[in-house]
Homo-oligomer: A and B are copies of this chain.
Amino acid sequence: MTYVASHIHAAAPQADIDLKETVASYMSASLITLRPGMSVGRARGHILSQLHENDVPAQVFVTDDSGFLHGRLSLKALLTEQDEQRLVSTMMLAPDYSVEPGQLRRDIAPELTEKTLDIVPVVRGGKLVGALYEREIAALIRDEGTDDAQRQGASLPLDTPYLSTSPWGLWKKRLPWLLLLFAAEAYTSTILQVFEEQLEAVIALAFFIPLLIGTGGNSGTQITSTLVRAMAVGEVGLRNLGTVLRKEVTTSFMIALAIGMVGLLRAWMLGVGHEVAIVVCLTLFAITVWSAIVSSIIPMLLKKMRIDPAVVSAPFIATFIDGTGLVIYFNIAKLVITDLA
């Protein structure tokens, strides 16, 4: 067990500071740079001789002999300038957006997704060390999306493409989260054991356990998956916490009303008596709203703690709601059902 336990412990946070997830592992070192003192004519020739067939950047960078980044110049401006003798330094603009080689992929992916940049300079201590062309930017955004999708499925992101990952490799990425969730979910057994007396008195209460906790998990998952994605593409940030909470609580009330009614109908169909039916209806309402509050706050909280919110996967929410949902269920049962009072 020692191996497994330490593995779980190391798993979730450690994977995030992997070297392959930094800008350095994506940037291209192939750069076409101009010097401030070049004439337009010379700069044009320099660029055309080095241009790639498949990747034509809309901007080129201007550096001095030591590699310090001085500015940027649009290819269009350079190609259409009439005065061949004009100096690059008189045309260039200040560099606007740049990244550092050590920056984490997930920290810059939202901005890159939002801005749709063509080329981004990679700068260390003022010096230009590389660039992210559209190809690199696309790869970075795609890989971050793939990692997010895997995290959302409660697995550690794979180091290699799926088809070239061995079963043993998959096992190592999946088991830590599965055991962690198992450990968290194990408390549901303890909770049910605590309410053994109530269960024995009204065995019909057991019939609705999967339905109630399942519905709570599902409605929570709907919220986290939308929120985590909106955060990944830079649409929602910590600043929106109030808006998100208001929106989600309002929505969940309307959803809880509908689901509560349907639940009442379902319990009535099973013929479990009106007391149990009312407990099921009230629990569905309470679990749905509770799940909405949890699911909107946790991703934001993780973001604030600088943990990738994508770890708030469906299984994560489902596990959390399973335990707390059962407590809600049996407490409502004790309040409503006269035999249990």
Contact = CB atoms under 8 A, between A and B. Distances in A.
Given A152-B149, A174-B222, A230 B113 contact: no
Interface in A168-188: 168, 170-171, 174-175, 177-179, 181-182, 185-186, 188
Contact of A315 (B118, B185, B217): B217
Which of A58, A186, A196, A263 is most buried by chain B, counting CB atoms within 10 A of its CB?
A186
B76 A79 contact: no
A283 interface: no
A210 B210 contact: yes
Chain A contact residues, majority secondary structure: helix
A200 B226 CA distance: 41
Contacts of A192: 206-207, 209-210
Contact of A235 (B74, B139, B163, B182): B163
Given A51-B80, A79-B79, A318-B314, A189 B174 contact: no
Contacts of A53: 58, 74, 76-77
Nearest to A57: B56
Given A167-B254, A208-B189, A233-B146, A177 B222 contact: yes
Contact of A313 (B207, B221, B251): B221
A145 interface: yes
Nearest to A139: B116
Contacts of A206: 192, 199, 206, 209
A74 B150 CA distance: 38
Copies of the polypeptide in the assembly: 2
B229 A178 contact: no
Interface stretch (A33-41, A123-131, A153-161, A301-309): A153-161
A162 B235 contact: yes
A211 interface: yes
Interface in A41-63: 48-49, 51-58
A337 interface: no
Interface of A: 4, 48-49, 51-58, 74-77, 79-80, 113, 116, 118, 134-135, 138-139, 141-142, 145-146, 148-150, 152-155, 158, 161-163, 165-168, 170-171, 174-175, 177-179, 181-182, 185-186, 188-190, 192-193, 196, 199-200, 203-204, 206-211, 213-215, 217-219, 221-230, 232-233, 235-236, 240, 243, 247-248, 250-251, 254-255, 258-259, 262-263, 266, 270, 313-315, 318-319, 322, 326
Q: Which 7 A-B pairs have the closest CB atoms?
A: A153-B225, A314-B314, A149-B229, A188-B210, A167-B250, A167-B251, A218-B315
